Amino acid sequence: MKKLTRQIKIGNVPIGGGAPCSVQSMCSTDTRNVAATLDQIGRLAEAGCEIVRCAVPDMDAAQALAAIKAGSPLPLIADIHFDYKLALQALESGVDGLRLNPGNIGERWKVAEVVKAAAERQIPIRIGVNGGSLEKELLVKYGHPTPEAMVESALGHVRILEELNYREIKISIKVSDVLRTLEAYRLLSDAVDYPLHIGVTEAGTIFSGTIKSSVGLGILLHQGIGDTMRVSLTGDPVHEVRVAYDILKCLGIRQRGINFVSCPTCGRCQIDLIPVAEEVERRLAHLDKNITVAVMGCSVNGPGEAREADFGIAGGRGEGLLFKHGEILRKVPQDKLADALIEEVLKP
């Protein structure tokens, strides 16, 4: 059962309170380049991203957020570190959320200024604890970024906001190690009822990062932990969105895009299946339909899997059978299999 947390809103996207786990990403562009940033946000939106975050390294970037917000199809979060003036300008620019740690903003009056401005606009704040930037005193106390150290850090930042009577909060607590991330989120989930933003930070490239994120986030989501998520990958952020939806889809939490099934190939396979499978998956990646498409390579499991799918092919010797809703439509030569399957899937 999913843990019921408090609900906040980032723009029109509900977070927590029983709402579906939302999918986020972060722009890799220079925020000061408004055109490039909006172009990337547009591609993220097409992929299904629901919330986007932009880095705010300086005042020029904070001011550029106004134009980005005006042109963005997605709610916009400003990522702030150290300088409270950047947070104030980001709020003035109309962002829908802030990501900052009150403890690294400086004196309490600076935090109070940011909270006052956020409260006036009903803008939530995400407290984002990262194992790579833990407070020095906690590193001394615990020796390294243990789950307990990260939770203590998060609760300290929460306390600052609560003392200012501010509770429009969500929390993330990330480290690149999957097991420490799991334990940290479990401890945090037991300690608070604020919505949690989950992720395995600095997970790696598209290959290794997808594996780490799928394991870590999959376990947390299955245990009912997680109200919004970002898959952190070294690469085009559009991949982050696609991987996030595949994780949610595998767990039966949310459905976006097709369910793609293909066999791993073996000595029984009598067609060159790998390029066929890759082509079908690539050409149907844009499709947002609740259907299963199967690409199978031999006569052992292939016909059965293909029949269970909405659309499918099962390979034979240099050719394959084309299926639709369990019925064989026709035989198709190997070099025509991908086209035939895609054509059938895309028919009105």
How is 306-342 classified by DSSP, letter by letter? Answer: HHHSSEEEEE-SSEEEEEETTEEEEEEEGGGHHHHHH
Separation between Cα atoms, residue 82 and residue 135, nearest integer Å: 13
Average pLDDT over every residue of 100-116: 84
Average pLDDT over every residue of 259-285: 81
Select from 151, 137, 141, 144 the least CA-distant residue to 183. Answer: 151
Residue in this structure with the two tokens 């390579």, named with its chain if needed: 297
The distance of Cα 273 from the centroid of its chain, to the nearest Å, equals 30
Give the pLDDT score at 286.
82
% pLDDT > 70, the chain: 96
Which of 81-85, 275-279, 294-298 is predicted least confidently? 294-298
Separation between Cα atoms, residue 161 and residue 105, nearest integer Å: 12
Average pLDDT over every residue of 316-329: 84
Per DSSP bridges, beta strands 311-315 and 319-324 are antiparallel
Separation between Cα atoms, residue 76 and residue 59, nearest integer Å: 17
Binding residues: 263, 266, 298, 305
Give the pLDDT score at 219.
96
Binding residues for [4Fe-4S] cluster: 263, 266, 298, 305
Give the pLDDT score at 176.
82
Give the pLDDT score at 36.
97
Give the pLDDT score at 95.
97
The reported pTM is 0.87
Give the pLDDT score at 288.
80
Residues contacting 208, CB < 8 A, separation 6+:
none
- Number of helices (H), then strands (E), in the chain: 12, 15
Confidence band for 5, pLDDT divided at 50, 70 and 90: very high
Tell me: the pLDDT tens digits for 182-230? 999 999 999 999 999 999 877 678 899 999 999 999 999 999 999 999 9
- With H, G, I as helix, E, B as strand and everything else as coil, classify residue 100: coil
Torsion angle of C-alpha atoms 98, 114, 136, 179, degrees rounded to 10: -20
Residue in this structure with the two tokens 């200012």, named with its chain if needed: 164
Give the pLDDT score at 299.
62
pLDDT reading at 303 higher than 70: no
Tell me: the pLDDT tens digits for 12-21? 999 999 999 9
Output the average pLDDT for the chain.
89
